[in-house]
């Protein structure tokens, strides 16, 4: 199963991805984490992108698309990826579909975590004290939320047409969200097995 976890910065995508990774033995592919690693390791790419990330803008599609291909093309991750923070716009969504097709895979569900700007502001200020992420400063965090809002609509329409979106209220307690997400994944897995058994019966 390949999953996209979708929501604004601070919606809890990272926390929920970790829960899914542990329970369903998937791999979390967080483009934000990969990019932050490049900055931490002071690579050539890291030097190039640090000011973009620290201002809350998006890194170029070309850069993130090439990071993604490394995972999608790797057999160890085949049909076991949870995409966290990708795709962020329609170009990336279409690129992901093409890549998955190339490697004989597809997206099974888009989990949309909905959270208000008020909640985001509160969560990000807590995270700022705990994790000290440079892009969690309040002005940058709001910029990241706005960047997200601007590119959201076309992506959601794109996946809605494919009937892939399942919305989860991200304002709830973590374990309630865990349970709702677990139920959605279990249901999809259940259908997968029914269809497989039917095919080979
Ligand atoms: P995140 O940890 O997902 O909130 O990402 C942190 C920052 O990394 C974003 O504000 C962007 O600057 C950059 N980034 C992460 N994922 C992407 C992506 N798919 N496309 C472009 N930039 C990204």
* pLDDT given for residue 126 in this prediction: 81
Tell me phi and psi for residue 5, to 5 degrees.
Answer: -105, 125
Task: Please indicate whether residue 8, judged by its CB atom, sits closer than 6 Å to ligand 1.
Answer: no
State the Cα–Cα distance between residues 21 and 109, nearest whole angstrom: 15
Protein residue closest via CA to atom 8 of ligand 1 = 32
Residue of 125, 35, 122, 157 whose CA lies nearest to 85? 35
Point out the ligand 1 atom lying closest to the alpha carbon of residue 9.
4
State the Cα–Cα distance between residues 7 and 10, nearest whole angstrom: 8
* pLDDT given for residue 183 in this prediction: 97
Residue-level pLDDT, tens digit, the chain, 201 residues: 999 999 988 899 999 999 999 999 999 999 999 999 999 999 999 999 999 998 888 999 999 999 999 999 999 999 999 999 999 999 999 999 999 999 999 999 999 999 988 888 888 778 777 777 777 777 787 888 888 888 888 999 999 999 999 999 999 999 999 999 999 999 998 888 888 888 887
State the Cα–Cα distance between residues 162 and 57, nearest whole angstrom: 28
For residue 43, count other CB atoms closer than 10 A to its CB.
12
Tell me, what DSSP letter sits at residue 134? G
- Where residue 3 falls (left for φ over 0; alpha for ψ -120 to 50; beta otherwise) is beta
Residue of 28, 37, 130 whose CA lies nearest to 71? 28
* pLDDT given for residue 148 in this prediction: 86
Point out the ligand 1 atom lying closest to the alpha carbon of residue 88.
19
Protein residue closest via CA to atom 19 of ligand 1 = 86
Coil, helix or strand for 137? Answer: coil
* pLDDT given for residue 38 in this prediction: 94
Task: Please indicate whether residue 96, judged by its CB atom, sits closer than 6 Å to ligand 1.
Answer: no
Protein residue closest via CA to atom 5 of ligand 1 = 32
Residue of 31, 63, 72 with the most ligand 1 atoms within 8 Å of its CB, for mutation = 31
């Amino acid at each position: 199963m390949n999953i996209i976890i979708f929501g604004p910065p601070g919606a809890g995508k990272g926390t929920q991805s970790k829960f899914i990774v542990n329970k369903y033995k998937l791999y979390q592919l967080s483009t934000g984490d990969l990019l932050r690693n490049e900055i931490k390791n002071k690579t050539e790419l890291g030097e190039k992108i640090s000011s973009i990330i620290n201002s809350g803008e998006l890194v170029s599609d070309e850069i993130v698309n090439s990071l993604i291909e490394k995972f999608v093309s790797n057999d160890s991750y085949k049909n076991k990826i949870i995409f966290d923070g990708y795709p962020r716009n329609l170009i990336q969504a279409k690129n992901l579909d093409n890549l998955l097709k190339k490697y004989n895979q597809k997206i099974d569900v888009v989990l949309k975590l909905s959270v208000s700007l008020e909640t985001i502001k509160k969560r990000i200020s807590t995270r700022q004290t705990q994790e000290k992420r440079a892009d969690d400063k309040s002005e940058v965090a709001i910029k990241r939320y706005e960047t997200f809002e601007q590119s959201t609509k076309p992506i959601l329409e794109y996946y809605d047409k494919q009937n892939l979106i399942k919305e989860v209220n991200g304002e709830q307690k973590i374990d309630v969200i865990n349970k709702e997400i677990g139920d959605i994944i279990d249901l999809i897995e259940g259908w997968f097995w029914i269809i497989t058994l039917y095919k080979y019966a």
